[in-house]
Amino acid sequence: MIHGSVFMERSMRPVKPTSRRRCSCGCEKRATHVGLGVGMALMRGCELYVRRWIRDGERTRNARQNAALSGREEGK
């Protein structure tokens, strides 16, 4: 079974110009690209938003893991 995941390789692809929604980042532009995880569409947005999603994927995951670990240590 093939499935997409935000924890695997990320990439982007432009969408067809005929059916575009607004970007969810708040820029009020059209969602011109789709974010892919292992070749499956996981999100969509303007080009800048999708590029940041690809770039920051590993950083945000590590930050969440570190925050969760530090929260566990405080509870001891």
pLDDT for res 32? 94
Neighbours of 36 (CB within 10 A): 19
Asked if residue 5 belongs to a domain, the reply is: no
Q: What is the pTM of this model?
A: 0.68
Asked if residue 2 belongs to a domain, the reply is: no
What is the spatial distance between Cα 43 and Cα 25, in angstroms, rounded to a whole number?
11
Rounded to 5, what percent of the chain is helix, strand, coil? 35, 25, 40
pLDDT for res 56? 86
Cα dihedral across residues 8, 10, 16, 20: positive or negative: positive
Asked if residue 47 belongs to a domain, the reply is: yes
Structural domain boundaries enclosing 22: 10-74
Which residue from 37, 40, 42, 34 is spatially nearest to 14, judged by alpha carbons?
34
9-60: pLDDT as tens digits: 889 999 988 867 899 888 989 999 999 988 889 899 999 999 999 988 767 6
What is the average pLDDT across 55-72?
70
pLDDT for res 44? 92
Asked if residue 19 belongs to a domain, the reply is: yes
Structural domain count, the chain: 1
pLDDT for res 48? 93
